[in-house]
Every structure is written in C-alpha cells, then in structure tokens.
C-alpha cells in the first residue's frame, strides 16, 4: 500500500495529498495539507506525477530549512528526523561524551543506509545547533 502513499481518488481522478510536516507548518501557507489534482485516472501516470510533486515539496521544505536564519527549522527538522529513524537527537558534543562507540557506529550505519542524505547526517550525528532566541523573536 506504500506505493499509493499521498494519493487519493476523487470522482475517478487521482490527487496528490500530503500533510505539511510540522517543522515547516509555520512557514508553508498550504498547511495543513498540500493537495493537487494529478489530472489523470491512470494509476501509473498518477504514480509518476505524485513522485514529481513529492520531490518538489521535499526540495521546497529543505529550502525553507536552509534559509532558516535562527536555525529553528533546521534544529526542529533534525530532532523530528532522528526520532523518526529511532534515535533521540543529541548535539554532537553530547554524543561524543555520552554514547558508546557502538552507538556512534549504529548511527553512522543508519546515515549510510539512508543514502548519505545530509539531513539524516545532521539528525543522527547532532550537527544542528539548538536555536537561541532573544525576546523580540518570541512575539
């Protein structure tokens, strides 16, 4: 069923529908869902178009995180991704002090198994700095 993830059918036509990830919801006006008609009733065409929309959204959300001046989105994305993969997020310095060599190797293997994705490395190896806010940023 994962093959049909983010696909719905309305009146016999396929649509792409995906929840905006929590870590970018404050910056994506399309929240809580992104939805587009794929303008087809053919399942194989719908899958190809869905994949294109998914890649475009992933790139857009990654761009939001990269442009994040205070580091809040980058940090929140790293914490969320680490939890999704099965680890708690720990800053690099804390990881070096608190987990075993086996634990570090486990994280490195997971980074490798996720295709050397830079986001995965940031999440599992603790490269996102905890954001610091001043009072003017709170309101």
Residues 74-130 pLDDT 10s: 888 888 888 888 888 988 888 888 888 888 898 888 888 766 557 788 888 888 887
Residues 6-36 pLDDT 10s: 999 999 999 999 999 887 887 787 888 999 9
Query: What pLDDT score does 2 carry?
Result: 57
Alpha carbon separation from 31 to 34, 74, 115 (Å, rounded): 7, 19, 28
In angstroms, rounded to a whole number, what is the distance separating the alpha carbons of residues 21 and 18? 9
Its pTM stands at 0.55
């Amino acid at each position: 069923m994962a093959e049909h993830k983010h696909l719905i059918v309305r009146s016999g036509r396929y649509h792409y529908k995906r929840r905006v990830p929590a870590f970018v919801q404050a910056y994506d006006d399309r929240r809580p869902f992104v939805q587009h008609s794929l303008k087809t009733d053919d399942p194989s065409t719908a899958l190809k178009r869905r994949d294109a929309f998914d890649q475009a959204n992933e790139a857009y959300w990654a761009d939001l995180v990269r442009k994040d001046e205070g580091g809040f989105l980058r940090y929140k994305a790293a914490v969320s991704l680490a939890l999704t993969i099965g680890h708690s997020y720990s800053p690099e310095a804390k990881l070096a002090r608190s987990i075993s060599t086996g634990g570090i190797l486990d994280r490195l293997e997971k980074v490798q198994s996720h295709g050397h994705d830079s986001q995965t490395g940031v999440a599992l190896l603790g490269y996102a700095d905890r954001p610091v806010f001043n009072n003017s940023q709170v309101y």
